[in-house]
Structure 1
Amino acid sequence: MTPGFLLLLLAGLGVVGFVAGRARALALSRGDARGLHSLPHYYGQMVALFAVVPALLLMVVWLVVQPVVVERNITALILPADIADGSSRDLVMADVRRIAEGMELLVAGRAMSEGELAALVPQPDVLKERLAAAGVALAAPIQQQVAEAASRWRAEMALGQGVMSVAVLALAVAGFLLSLWRVAPAFRARNVVERFVQAMLIGASSIAILTTVGIIFSLVFESWHFFQLYPARDFFLSLTWSPRFGGGSSLGLWPLLWGTLYVSFIALLVAVPVGLMAAIYLSEYASPALRSVAKPAIEVLAGIPSIVYGLFALMTVGPFLRDWFAQPMGLGDSASSVMTAGVVMGIMLIPYVSSLSDDIINAVPQALRDGSYGLGATQSETIRQVVFPAALPGIVGAILMAASRAIGETMIVVLGAGAAAQLSLNPFEAMTTVTVKIVSQLTGDTEFASAETLVAFALGLTLFVFTLGLNVLALTIVRKYREQYE
């Protein structure tokens, strides 16, 4: 039974539980809701919640844990003799997963039956041809042991899915019957439902905290592995970035960090003045009719995919800056540059600054404006000396959000700034950022046993610490101005 179909069954059981719980409560009170402790719909909600939520949690946990357990079991079957030269256990397991997915595709597409597929496992060459015909391309020949491991993978996953379906449905039915049995006129269904919902809300709010903790631990764990393979001193102090998967790499952080800060700085130089002036105009000067059209038009920029901005940088902005500025000034001949990526990224960040700043400025009490006008100040003086200082904490938050978005951008940098890791002050030269190199180091069939791959986690941890420091600085500034204006 597929997870999607299982979800439909749980949803249907929840609807039945609501109707049955409500009907049973009314029946026990002889149709008079005044004889019940709670309103009838609370009894229905109680039955539906106990029938669906525990079973749904079991299903989610099962779907997360099962692939880990299956992979551990299959990995134990891969012996060192099954690993070809130049490969690794991780790469072999990647092939096992890919072959298993291809087998599932053949069976699901009814290209062959389970019996025919089992007959192909001892014939790896024929199996590879059938997988290639189904669109699953494999560069290396399939080894007999790998084909058997892929077949075992499918069998264990199917078995686990069947057991999961039985367990989830059994728990759902048990919760349904138990909660329906507890329905009684004196039963405090409203209190139970409210505590249940409160527990769900606490669990949902804890997801963000647990996710952050998980991200930190994963980055720290893999970064520790990296620093065991590569000296931390060379990573933090070297000014050269030159990864070589065969050995002899120079993995200095500073060229990447410099490119990240340089591109983000230019992007903020474009986005912050334009966004703030647009926000001030829309909130203080524009008519309601103009505002109703202009603000949504600006916010459309936030909905454009970053890859489209990257193409715009590559095909339009880059050649324009090269032909009109870089070449006449003798600063470069390439359309890919820090300036190209920074300008286009700044355009992308304008709605982040303008929309948030506009909402923050509108939230400033009108009494502050009226008091300023009563003292004889003009509109521009009121905006500059009253409204803007009062809204400054929120505006700092908007700029911080834009800065975080700029630091984490990848596609615009790839297409607009190039991939050269270097230290230079020339804004018309190609450079790259930390995020781009994280992607490049993890792209393809890479094994997590080399410093050239694990450096991506060290870069991610560095970026995390940097943005955390930026947040602390912004909070300090916000707290200072809040104490002044509250």
Structure 2
Amino acid sequence: MTMGSALQMALMAILPLSVLAYMAARRRAGADNARGTEFHSPLVYYGWYSCLWVALPSMGLFVLAGLLHLLHIATVPGPVLAGGAVALAAFGLVWSQRAIGRDFRAIHSVEGAVRWALIGASCISILITIGIVVSVVFEAMQFFRLVNLWDFLTGTKWSPETAFLISTGRADGNVATPEFGSLPLFAGTFYITAVAMLVAVPMGLFAAVYMAEYASQRVRRIAKPALEILAGIPTVVYGFFAAITVSPLIVHLAESMGLEAEYTNALAPGLVMGVMIIPLVSSLSDDVINAVPQAMREGSYALGATTSETIRKVVLPAALPGVVSAVLLAVSRAVGETMIVVMAAGLMPNLTWNPLKSMTTVTVSIVDSLTGDQAFDSPQTLSAFGLGLVLLVLTLVLNVVSLVVIRKFREQYE
């Protein structure tokens, strides 16, 4: 019997026992209350106390058995595990029923269990973050044993395709040496992200200001949901729109002005990505602007300021920490976008300032490195972890800078 089968069998017994414990504890406490015995806590807490005593020890046994199995320390047989869990549940039922009494403080026990559950959830999220960082760092260190870190950060040519042939011993004298210069990838990432931000931040912020300060309630009820519909469109649809409509339009406009543009250019995905991010900026900024106390606006009006002056000199500075958070979230969304770039910008890692040329981003290169039949320990595959580590560090630096800005303006306006 596998652990999954044992868990299913145990749940078939533990769930009815938990319901029985809850009902029995409430009935017992209610009967004593009816006879004039005043209990310390509300009846519902006695029910939950007994239910927790039935469920938690048995589920904890499964968690312990799973950890022992994952760590290759021991493997508990399925029948023993299921029988032990049911036995613990039955013991918890008897124990919890005997503990119920007039002076028993069930509310403290239940609230304590909830508190520890919340602490556990917080610790799990922190541990998951640490696990992600450790896994990326571990694999990236293997890559940097093969490729010099300085050459990786400053190199201007990204051509890892032949690394797989060299690692498998199938390369001959005509195979070019693989190159892992990541500068074109990061330049393309931030170039396309900058184009997207030039579209999303002004339009999103202006839309938020209009809906928060100028629009009537009727217009707001219609305009805000209509704007947020953009956030629900799949990115692949945006990719089709960028590749089929926006990119040919850019090529035709460039030709009419005597410029040469490629159909896979950096401008098309940047513009479409900016449109996609507009709801993110506008919705969060709208909520932040509405949270500014009305007294600050009224004080500005009392001093003779106009509506536009109040927005520019009072509301926006007070809402700036939230606006910065919205912009940072939009930047993270743009940096992590893959599908639009693949469909509209291509896979060519060009280092250029011309937005009409083809470019690619770090996330696209990561996907390209991890797909195919190459070995997992080849430099081409491991390069994805090197790119991920550098991108993680850059994102961390961006978060630290944004926190400094937010703290500065929060101290000024609070």
Given the two structures, how large is their TM-score scaled by the length of structure 2? 0.88
Q: 1:221 aligns with which of 138, 153, 157?
A: 138
Alpha-carbon distance change, 191 to 246 in structure 1, aligned in 2, over 3 angstroms: same
Q: Distance in 2 between matches of 1:45 and 1:292?
A: 42
Task: State the one-letter code of the partner of 2:184.
Answer: P
Segment drifting more, 470-479 vs 57-66: 57-66
On the 8 A contact 1:326/1:428 being kept in 2, the answer is no
Aligned equivalent of 1:447: 375
Alpha-carbon distance change, 437 to 169 in structure 1, aligned in 2, over 3 angstroms: farther
Q: Distance in 2 between matches of 1:318 and 1:54?
A: 60
Uncovered stretches (5+) of structure 1, i.e. residues with no partner: 74-155
Alpha-carbon distance change, 171 to 320 in structure 1, aligned in 2, over 3 angstroms: farther
Segment drifting more, 18-27 vs 361-370: 18-27
Aligned equivalent of 2:285: 357
Alpha-carbon distance change, 449 to 65 in structure 1, aligned in 2, over 3 angstroms: farther
Task: State the one-letter code of the partner of 2:152.
Answer: F
Q: Distance in 2 between matches of 1:65 and 1:260?
A: 43
Given the two structures, how large is their TM-score scaled by the length of structure 1? 0.76
Aligned equivalent of 2:298: 370
Q: 2:248 aligns with which of 296, 312, 319?
A: 319
Summarize the alignment of residues 290-439 of structure 1 with structure 2, pairs less than 5 Å apart. Answer: 290-325=219-254, 328-334=257-263, 336-439=264-367
Q: Secondary structure at the match of 1:460?
A: helix
On the 8 A contact 1:256/1:433 being kept in 2, the answer is yes
Alpha-carbon offset, residue 387 of structure 1: 0.9
Uncovered stretches (5+) of structure 2, i.e. residues with no partner: 167-176
Q: Distance in 2 between matches of 1:22 and 1:259?
A: 64
Alpha-carbon offset, residue 484 of structure 1: 2.4
Q: Distance in 2 between matches of 1:457 and 1:64?
A: 27
Q: 1:231 aligns with which of 148, 151, 154?
A: 148
On the 8 A contact 1:268/1:403 being kept in 2, the answer is yes
Residue 46, structure 1, aligned to residue 49, structure 2: yes
Task: State the one-letter code of the partner of 2:353.
Answer: L
Q: Distance in 2 between matches of 1:323 and 1:162?
A: 71
Summarize the alignment of residues 31-42 of structure 1 with structure 2, pairs less than 5 Å apart. Answer: 31-32=34-35, 34-42=37-45
Aligned equivalent of 1:94: none
On the 8 A contact 2:143/2:382 being kept in 1, the answer is yes
On the 8 A contact 2:228/2:283 being kept in 1, the answer is yes
Alpha-carbon distance change, 266 to 465 in structure 1, aligned in 2, over 3 angstroms: same
Q: 2:28 aligns with which of 5, 24, 30?
A: 24
Summarize the alignment of residues 230-309 of structure 1 with structure 2, pairs less than 5 Å apart. Answer: 230-243=147-160, 244=162, 245-247=164-166, 248-309=177-238
Segment drifting more, 368-377 vs 182-191: 182-191
Q: Deviations over 1:134-166 (max 9, x none)?
A: xxxxxxxxxxxxxxxxxxxxxx9xx96666544
Summarize the alignment of residues 78-227 of structure 1 with structure 2, pairs less than 5 Å apart. Answer: 165-227=82-144
Alpha-carbon offset, residue 60 of structure 1: 5.3
Q: Distance in 1 between matches of 2:112 and 2:257?
A: 70
Q: Distance in 1 between matches of 2:344 and 2:36?
A: 68
On the 8 A contact 1:26/1:33 being kept in 2, the answer is no
Alpha-carbon offset, residue 225 of structure 1: 1.5
Q: Distance in 2 between matches of 1:34 and 1:220?
A: 62
Equivalent pairs counted in the alignment come to 398
Alpha-carbon offset, residue 67 of structure 1: 6.4
Aligned equivalent of 2:408: 480
Task: State the one-letter code of the partner of 2:336.
Answer: G
Q: 1:15 aligns with which of 16, 19, 24?
A: 19
Q: Distance in 1 between matches of 2:13 and 2:407?
A: 51
On the 8 A contact 2:25/2:46 being kept in 1, the answer is yes
Q: Distance in 1 between matches of 2:139 and 2:157?
A: 22
Alpha-carbon distance change, 252 to 188 in structure 1, aligned in 2, over 3 angstroms: same
Q: Deviations over 1:24-53 (max 9, x none)?
A: 3334x2644743222221111011122223
Alpha-carbon distance change, 308 to 478 in structure 1, aligned in 2, over 3 angstroms: same
Work out the percentage of aligned pairs sharing the same amino acid: 48
On the 8 A contact 2:189/2:335 being kept in 1, the answer is yes
Aligned equivalent of 2:385: 457
